[in-house]
Copies of this chain bind each other. A is one copy, B any other.
Amino acid sequence: MATELYDLTVPVFLRGFKAMAAFLDKARAWADEQGIPHEELLAARLAEDMAPLTAQIQRVSDSAKLAVARIGRIEAPAMADTETSFDELQARIAATIAFLKAVPREAIDGREDADVEVKTPSRSFHFKGLPYVTGFVLPNFYFHMTAAYAILRHKGAPVGKMDYLGGI
């Protein structure tokens, strides 16, 4: 009955990206109706030193693709963080989804105790596979997804909690 690691990662991410793609589309349509320039919405942030909408989407993408790459010892596609439009953000999401869908279950399952290293410019973090997923990957994934949603709500876009959750 216990759960394999693949089921805690790839399908969870795919579900999130589907919801995100849909709420970004909704926000874009609303911006067009209201005559709000896309650049204004894409550059919006919740605090001066927090990342704008564009970067929140980039970080959700990174959270997911780097998670499976690190766990599964797979190379993740490089993405240059150059998105400046809704179309480009949707393309980023689509590319991340395509990569995730190609990850074989065998690369992820059984890696609960595998060593995972997360290198940042200032230091390295060392995890085992499962605590990496439950204590780092998922909190980060939902952090940036919620931040993207919250930026849209803060700017007045007509998105709601069900858009964040996706179909339940």
Contacts and interface: CB of A to CB of B under 8 A. Distances in A.
A112 B15 contact: no
Interface string A93-120: 0000000000000000110110000000
A150 B142 contact: no
B154 A47 contact: yes
Q: How would you classify the secondary structure of chain A's contact residues: helix, strand, loop or mixed?
A: helix
A5 interface: yes
A140 to B, nearest CB: 7
A15 B135 contact: yes
Contact of A147 (B15, B127, B134, B146): B146
Interface residues of A, number: 41
Interface string A23-53: 0000000000000000000000011001000
Contact of A134 (B8, B112, B154): B8
Interface of A: 1-5, 7-8, 11-12, 15-16, 46-47, 50, 109-110, 112-113, 125, 127, 130, 134-136, 138-140, 142-143, 146-147, 149-150, 153-154, 156, 161, 164-166, 168
Contact of A146 (B7, B142, B168): B142
